[in-house]
């Protein structure tokens, strides 16, 4: 006898990202670094997906590249909860590989290993284009939870954004709720 289980997947778009302090936002970057970003909400998207099996994924995206009024910035943050540790380890490796595989011919990803970033597994790299720092990518697994953040449009070689805004959030990864 074959048993089938149907798991209902429910996505909520345009969630109030302020309810999820684990996520770094364009507003935080603007306030901390004095960047003029579009904070009207028109350049931001957020989605919370409940997979019905206890796992959830929260995604926040800011994208405004071509503007005379605002600083160009692309940022996507994903937080995944409720998966088992083996699945989290697999997703960590797949996430790392997919970012490296997506590099354009003029892009280079240089791994940074000398920062104390909390997590069971951590991959942090600076993104270079045409020889200039264009941003960074961070992927962290802590037990059965994942946090990823790609930011392009900010010079990040000093790692201040990671140190000041993201590491404090990562310290709550295992206890934060979606």
Percent of the chain with pLDDT over 90: 72
pTM of the predicted model over 0.85:
yes
Residue 31 exposure: Cα atoms within 13 Å on the Cβ side = 8
The tens digit of pLDDT for each residue in 50-75 reads 998 889 999 999 999 888 899 999 99
Query: 108's torsion region: left (phi>0), alpha (psi -120 to 50) or beta?
Result: beta
Q: What pLDDT is stored for residue 1 in this prediction?
A: 44
Provide the β-strand partners of residue 147. Answer: 79, 140
Coil, strand, or helix at residue 121?
A: strand
The tens digit of pLDDT for each residue in 37-49 reads 999 999 999 999 9
């Amino acid at each position: 006898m074959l048993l089938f289980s149907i798991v209902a997947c429910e996505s909520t778009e345009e969630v109030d990202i302020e309810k999820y302090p684990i996520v770094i936002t364009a507003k935080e970057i603007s306030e901390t670094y004095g960047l003029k970003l579009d904070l009207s909400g028109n350049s931001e998207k957020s989605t919370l997906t409940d997979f019905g099996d206890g796992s959830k994924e929260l995604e926040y995206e800011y994208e405004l590249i071509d503007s005379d009024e605002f600083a160009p910035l692309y940022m996507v943050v994903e937080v995944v909860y409720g998966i088992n540790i083996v699945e989290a380890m697999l997703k960590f490796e797949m996430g790392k590989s997919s970012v490296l595989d997506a590099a354009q011919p003029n892009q280079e990803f240089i791994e940074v290993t000398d920062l104390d970033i909390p997590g069971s597994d951590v991959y942090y790299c600076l993104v270079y284009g045409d020889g200039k720092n264009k941003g960074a990518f961070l992927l962290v697994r802590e037990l059965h939870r994942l946090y990823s953040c790609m930011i392009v449009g900010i010079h990040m070689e000093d790692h201040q954004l990671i140190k000041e805004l993201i590491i404090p959030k990562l310290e709550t990864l295992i206890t934060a709720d979606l």
